[in-house]
Amino acid sequence: MQTFEVEIKYRVEDITELERQLQRWGGTGFGTQVTDYDIFFQHPCRNFVHTDECLRLRNRVFPDGMSEHSLTYKGPKMDALTKTRQEIEMPVAEPERWESLLTALGFCKSASLHKFRRRQTLTIDCRQIDFVLDTLPALPESGRQFLEIETLATEDNLEECRSSLLNIAEQLGLRHPIRESYLQLVYG
């Protein structure tokens, strides 16, 4: 079954107020900070910038020094308001070998990015919703914090999930979703 990531992203300035608002749904604060180191790859035969796709190798480092790696493909965005897209993600062992494999197949590294991430997962309307607070050190301090509200969907409940996230954002008083990826925000 095909899985879709339904996501909306906003710039945030007042994290304390956001956490207070999330307490209405049982929130207890954003979790421990992890650091994501991402390498993005460009397809040898099509331009992912033009097709709005992404292939990413991620190294997630936890505060205790442990890490996990994943390879993720994200398809093009499917609507004008959210960042809903097909997502295929799998854990990988030996990320250096995966990087070598992709390079041998003609993929080339196109960019790298790192961010600090804290997550709070809540159940709202019987659905697991992730509230992800990201900080991008590559951006100016006044505009480097973002909130992503996201959930996973199937074709059967895609519209319902999208409507639910838009409703949650509205209840939180969030306006002006950002459709640009972090790569676009950092590298312009």
Query: Highest mean pLDDT: which of 1-5, 149-153, 184-188?
Result: 149-153
Q: What's at 184, amino acid-wise?
A: Q
Q: If you search the block for the tokens 């956001």, which residue do you land on? A: 18
What CA–CA distance (Å, rounded) separates 31 from 36?
Answer: 15
What CA–CA distance (Å, rounded) separates 49 from 43?
Answer: 10
What CA–CA distance (Å, rounded) separates 56 from 40?
Answer: 5
Domains of the chain, CATH where assigned: 4-187 (2.40.320.10)
What CA–CA distance (Å, rounded) separates 181 from 85?
Answer: 12
What CA–CA distance (Å, rounded) separates 113 from 161?
Answer: 29
Contact residues for 161 (Cβ-Cβ < 8 A; gap 6+) = 4, 6, 127, 151, 152, 153
Strands of the chain (E only): list them: 4-11, 34-42, 54-61, 67-74, 85-91, 108-124, 127-135, 145-153
The predicted structure's pLDDT at residue 1:
78
Burial class of residue 83, CB neighbours in 10 A (0-12, 13-18, 19+): buried
Mean of pLDDT values over 72-89: 95
Tens of pLDDT along 110-149? 999 999 999 999 999 889 999 999 999 999 988 899 999 9
Mean of pLDDT values over 54-66: 97
Average pLDDT in the chain: 94
Q: Structure pTM?
A: 0.93
Tens of pLDDT along 83-119? 999 999 999 999 999 999 999 999 999 999 999 999 9
* pLDDT surpassing 90 at residue 174: yes
Determine what percent of the chain is predicted with pLDDT higher than 70: 100
Under 8 Å between Cβ of 7 and 82: yes
